Amino acid sequence: MSQPVTAIPGAAAKRITCILPDNGSDRRLLQLLREVHGITRADSLHCRRVPALQAAKAERNKVPEASLARVINVVVDEAQADAVFAVICAEAGLNEPGSGMVYMVALSFATPLLMPAGVPDEARVKVAAP
Amino acid sequence: MKTDGITYLTDVSLITCIVTAGRADQVILAAQGMGTPGAIVFHAHGLGPRERHGLLGIAIDAEKEVVSLLVAADYQDAVLEAIYYAANLDVPGAGMIYATPVEKVATYIPRQMLEQGKVL
């Protein structure tokens, strides 16, 4: 496939998707990625999941009861994708049952997400407010 | 960072199916019938030629459910076909399905399942 002819900044990238239980671990992961690794192209959304290892009983022709989960999408440059993937795997605690899963797909093009300079984080603004 | 116990998989496909709200269970049941037990579902809002279909434009529900599931790449076509017919995706406006190649997957898989080859 040919490269797009465009003046838009960006390059091929990877999208790392992480499925975690809805227990606040997604916020901790996003904060870590932003503050330690400088990754801003990340979001979190809620979903329901039917885990493969969950021993839930279900009626005939019924889906087992789902549990709430969070899906975190992280877009990273190709060069740092493997390193970020390893960090997310470790931070997500994937070595325990029910902790979720992480997968990575290739993106043909992604623009950078430029953040405005001099604007404090939302959480810090709330803490500083009287 | 502790990474012991994490299983890394390759040759995996991500199947994404967009159906009318309330029909995600049909997709999951079809996938389970093909040996794909895990899935996630989230809500979405569809846009398109809704008003042009049916009386009062209510033929297609704009509220959608998006089902994502990971399958072994070898079984991708079989699972796609099973879901396609189970969700009646051949009906106009019923939804769509697509597959994306996944470079690698990391998750926890019990040792006994690995030994039995019961993965994805």
Separation in Å, CA of A1 to nearest CA in chain B: 16
Q: What percent of chain B has pLDDT over 70?
A: 80
Fold topology of B10-103: Alpha-Beta Plaits (3.30.70)
> What's the whole-number average pLDDT of chain A?
84
Residue A38 φ/ψ, nearest 5 degrees: 70, 25
Question: Chain A contacts of B25, Cβ < 8 Å?
Answer: 62-63
∠ Cα B25 B26 B31 (to 5°): 95
Is the predicted pLDDT of residue A124 greater than 70, yes or no? no
Q: What is the ipTM of this complex?
A: 0.81
- DSSP lists the bridge partners of residue A17 as A73, A103
B2 touches chain A (CB under 8 A): yes
> How confident is the model at residue B1, as a pLDDT?
45
pLDDT one-digit tens code per residue, A72-102: 999 999 999 999 999 999 888 887 777 889 9
Separation in Å, CA of A130 to nearest CA in chain B: 37
Question: Chain A contacts of B70, Cβ < 8 Å?
Answer: 101, 103
Rounded Cα–Cα distance for residues B38 and B23 (Å): 16
Listed in sequence order, the residues at least 6 apart from A60 whose beta carbon sits closer than 8 Å to its beta carbon are none
Domains of chain A by residue range: 11-53+63-128
B16 compared with B113, residue with greater pLDDT:
B16
Who among A95, A97, A98 is closest to B3 (CB)?
A95
B13 compared with A50, residue with greater pLDDT:
B13
Is the predicted pLDDT of residue A33 greater than 80, yes or no? yes
Rounded Cα–Cα distance for residues A110 and A41 (Å): 10
Who among B32, B42, B100 is closest to A71 (CB)?
B42
Question: In the CATH scheme, what is the code of domain A11-53+63-128?
Answer: 3.30.70.120
B40 touches chain A (CB under 8 A): yes
Is the predicted pLDDT of residue B51 greater than 90, yes or no? no
Identify the residue whose tokens are 């969950």.
Answer: A54
Task: Please answer yes or no on whether A52 and B37 come within 8 Å at the CB atom.
Answer: yes
Is the predicted pLDDT of residue B27 greater than 90, yes or no? yes
Question: Which helix (H) or strand (E) element contains residue B93?
Answer: none
- Confidence tier at B40 by pLDDT (50, 70, 90): very high
Please tell me the pTM assigned to this model.
Answer: 0.83
- Confidence tier at B107 by pLDDT (50, 70, 90): confident
Task: Please answer yes or no on whether A103 and B100 come within 8 Å at the CB atom.
Answer: no
Q: Are the C-beta atoms of residues A20 and A92 closer than 8 Å to each other?
A: yes
Average pLDDT on A17-32 reads: 91
- Confidence tier at B109 by pLDDT (50, 70, 90): confident
Average pLDDT on B35-61 reads: 74
Tell me, what amino acid is at B28? I
∠ Cα A34 A37 A39 (to 5°): 50
